Amino acid sequence: DVKVTQSSRYLVKRTGEKVFLECVQDMDHENMFWYRQDPGLGLRLIYFSYDVKMKEKGDIPEGYSVSREKKERFSLILESASTNQTSMYLCASSPTGQANTEAFFGQGTRLTVV
C-alpha cells in the first residue's frame, strides 16, 4: 500500500520558534509538495521539489523554506513561526514522466502557533 507519512498529526509551537515538518514517501516518487489548507482559501502550494536538492517556490513561500536531501524525504521549515502560520499542512508526492501521475497525500499536520 502506497504511503505518504507526515511526522506529526498535531503540533503546538510558540511564536518565534523554528518549526520542522517532516514528510516521507515510500513510492520512489520524483515530485513532492507542501500545501497549507485554510477555511475559505482551499489548498495553497507553498513549495514543491522535483528531484533531490531541487526546489521551486509555490504560491505562498514567504516565511517558509524546504529541504530535500533524500528522494523519500521532504521537510518544511518555518524559520520563525508566527500566529498567521496556524494551519493544516499537507504533504503530497507524485511520479513524473509516466501516464499515471497519481498524487498521494499524507494525513496532514494541524499546526497551532501560540
Partner 1 sequence: KQEVTQIPAALSVPEGENLVLNCSFTDSAIYNLQWFRQDPGKGLTSLLLIQSSQREQTSGRLNASLDKSSGRSTLYIAASQPGDSATYLCAVQLYNFNKFYFGSGTKLNVKP
* Selected range binding partner 1 among 12-20, 60-68, 73-81, 102-110, rule: CB under 8 A: 102-110
| Residue with smaller CB distance to partner 1, 15 or 101 | 101
Coil/strand/helix, residue 113: strand
| Nearer residue to partner 1 within complex by CB, 42 or 62 | 42
Distance CA 35, CA 44 (A): 5
String of contacts with partner 1 for each residue 37-66, x by CB under 8 A: -----xx-x--x-x-----x-x--------
Choice from 27, 101, 112, 114 touching partner 1 (CB under 8 A):
101
Minimum separation from the CB atom of position 80 to partner 1 (A)? 26
In the chain, where do the E strands start and end? 4-6, 10-13, 19-25, 31-38, 42-51, 54-57, 64-70, 73-78, 87-94, 104-105, 109-113
